[in-house]
Structure 1
């Protein structure tokens, strides 16, 4: 049986690596395993081969260097380099040449505490090679005269490798290239795992097959905690809705709109030549079921649009084009990734909890997982700070720049 051109039945009963989830994280790990020269059998199990309901399909596909943690900056820098050299990286002349639309992120601080955070963050970013500039309210008015900033004390913007990029194309080519290199994808679902002591010995599929495995990679996005529970471990990652609206303005802005983070948390950016995108969390922001994509229509009218129109008065007269709800795989401890093996289940590898940073971190994180599996240790960026050890200890990895 096949679904979307992908078989539902594994070709073998034993695999060296089973990756649970085939969207951008799972496909990144699979492709980087082949790039690292891993010689074993790799199986990617994806419950929805159309990818219509995955977080990858609902992303706003942005990239930034403006983090407070230097390692997060380096992770995005690798992503930027990878995207801009995608054809050479994949090694296929059919791969399109990609760029990053560098309109940047514009953080707005309306209080001295956050302004001081932006100043401290800039020092970290400059030291890592970013080109972040601090802007006074007068600077912002000069560069973006359509923006109302009477309440703003300071802004922060970087237009080097920061803005929109085509995450869908990168994902597509990771998947295509991984399959061409021998990675097996199936349309199925992991519903149980058999664990013996410190190892997961096998996974059970929804269709009934039991597949023995050397290593399991949890790349199941908002379902990550459910997958972890199958291995008998806890993971503080839950699905939280993130809402997106696309609109046109009766009077378009005279220049591209950077991804502007209002102090309320609502963010807006240029989407196309004549369209704009707005994103927001819910108010309140509870955990939801991973298959819950229902829009909260009152959120736009009662909360989001008033904020947008106050910040940019030209957006008082707009027309909505489309809207959707997606999910963050939200790490409730510190909104940073969880990466690497569980300390008590040595062959269960986390690739989870990206909390909205997933697409821009997928290249470095997939490479890191591949290095762990192939070499037993990180070979490039040391991603140890993302390990499960901090989860077990209840010690957050601090990142001030979370949207």
Structure 2
């Protein structure tokens, strides 16, 4: 097989976005995107809850999501008049009790400074806004009035991958099983079926498998799969004004057409990496944690019917639950786009743009992602995102 200037390992939303923006930014060299599951049946992208928010604790995370928000609002100009990802701009509602209030207020200050359309409200204001809400144990909540919501992940990925077909990007169904280093450079990757491919640069966009991919190059990356289950249930009442609501304990819920989806609080149960081939929903989590929290927060949810569930995996950064973006400090042609710990889908277009700028221009232009660099992994210096859902 012929060599490539850039090999991208992983063809879901992160890898596809990197390839897309490389071409948009003017890269004319050869690009191969390697994806072992081009139907994306087990992909974090397609198994996620597909949401976007500005309610983060770190300014750079807010900026990454705001870039993607702008892309959502200009889909037709970029991808054509038929482009539609079903974006529902219904907001996030993040609730806190006494213990979580200082963090909520600090996060809110960051969000307002970054221009996010978020309000912080006390229990009486929240009850007035959302009649179905019980504020027992709640001290305050932040609500995103615009710029937050949910969308169709399959549709977004389909738009970007379709665009790649007209941009001279080779989409290869295969798996990378070896990476060859010579000195301070990656020189080739080896595919399970396609053999050895020489390359000038590798982008690791392998999602939950990013740690294993990095290990092929003798690089330690503390990213591993953590299973997350999404439950689908029916309820008597449909609250069309319900945003994606996050309870202080981490359980979240949002409407999805005539049903609701919910999840969260797995961090109380899973301390170890998940089997990346395990897609069995954690059914006991619903009865033990999710349903009691829902019934406490929305009284009518005491009577609901669980209809189905599915499970996927976060690309979980065990150091700080935050992204690792940019080149390895010593192996400069190995580039990370990993460890987003649940917010990778909403930030992928922005990360693709940032990496394209870095590769072509030698520096970040639109959003400075240097604070997400790998050096903090070497130094074991966490850069922690406090608002992980």
> The TM-score by the shorter chain falls in which range?
over 0.9
Q: Which residue of 1 aligns with 2:97?
A: 110
The answer to whether the aligner puts 1:211 opposite 2:230 as a matched pair is no
Deviation string 1:163-193 (CA, Å, 9 cap, x unpaired) is: 1123322211111111211100011000001
The answer to whether the aligner puts 1:55 opposite 2:44 as a matched pair is yes
1:62-81 alignment to 2 at 5 Å?
62-81=51-70
* Shift, 1:281, TM fit: 4.2
Q: Which residue of 1 aligns with 2:328?
A: 342
The answer to whether the aligner puts 1:257 opposite 2:242 as a matched pair is yes
1:213-292 alignment to 2 at 5 Å?
213-253=199-239, 255-272=240-257, 274-282=258-266, 283-285=268-270, 286-292=272-278
Q: Which residue of 2 aligns with 1:313?
A: 299
Comparing 314-323 with 75-84, greater Cα deviation is found at 314-323
Are the aligned partners of 1:80 and 1:100 in contact in 2 as well (CA < 8 Å)? no
The answer to whether the aligner puts 1:369 opposite 2:355 as a matched pair is yes
* Shift, 1:208, TM fit: 5.0
* Shift, 1:343, TM fit: 1.0
Are the aligned partners of 1:83 and 1:170 in contact in 2 as well (CA < 8 Å)? no
Are the aligned partners of 1:105 and 1:162 in contact in 2 as well (CA < 8 Å)? yes
* Shift, 1:158, TM fit: 1.0
Q: Which residue of 2 aligns with 1:95?
A: 83
Q: Which residue of 1 aligns with 2:140?
A: 154
CA distance in 1, matches of 2:211, 2:385: 22
* Shift, 1:256, TM fit: 2.2
Are the aligned partners of 1:261 and 1:268 in contact in 2 as well (CA < 8 Å)? yes
CA distance in 2, matches of 1:251, 1:270: 11
Deviation string 1:118-173 (CA, Å, 9 cap, x unpaired) is: 22222211121112111111111111222221211111111211111233222111
Are the aligned partners of 1:221 and 1:329 in contact in 2 as well (CA < 8 Å)? yes
Deviation string 1:367-402 (CA, Å, 9 cap, x unpaired) is: 111112222211211110010011111111132211
Q: Secondary structure at the residue paired with 1:160?
A: coil
Are the aligned partners of 1:241 and 1:281 in contact in 2 as well (CA < 8 Å)? no
Are the aligned partners of 1:86 and 1:170 in contact in 2 as well (CA < 8 Å)? no
The structure 1 residue matched to 2:16, chosen from 9, 27, 34, is 27
1:132-171 alignment to 2 at 5 Å?
132-171=118-157
Are the aligned partners of 2:46 and 2:153 in contact in 1 as well (CA < 8 Å)? no
CA distance in 2, matches of 1:99, 1:302: 32
What TM-score results when the alignment is normalised by the length of structure 2? 0.96
1:123-134 alignment to 2 at 5 Å?
123-134=109-120
Task: Note the residue ranges of structure 1 that are not aligned, 5 or more in a row.
Answer: 1-11
Q: Secondary structure at the residue paired with 1:180?
A: coil
Q: Secondary structure at the residue paired with 2:100?
A: helix
The answer to whether the aligner puts 1:45 opposite 2:29 as a matched pair is no
Q: Secondary structure at the residue paired with 2:308?
A: strand
What TM-score results when the alignment is normalised by the length of structure 1? 0.93
Are the aligned partners of 1:336 and 1:353 in contact in 2 as well (CA < 8 Å)? yes
The structure 1 residue matched to 2:371, chosen from 385, 390, 396, is 385
Deviation string 1:45-88 (CA, Å, 9 cap, x unpaired) is: 10011111110110101111111111111111111000110121
CA distance in 2, matches of 1:362, 1:184: 20
Are the aligned partners of 1:242 and 1:281 in contact in 2 as well (CA < 8 Å)? no
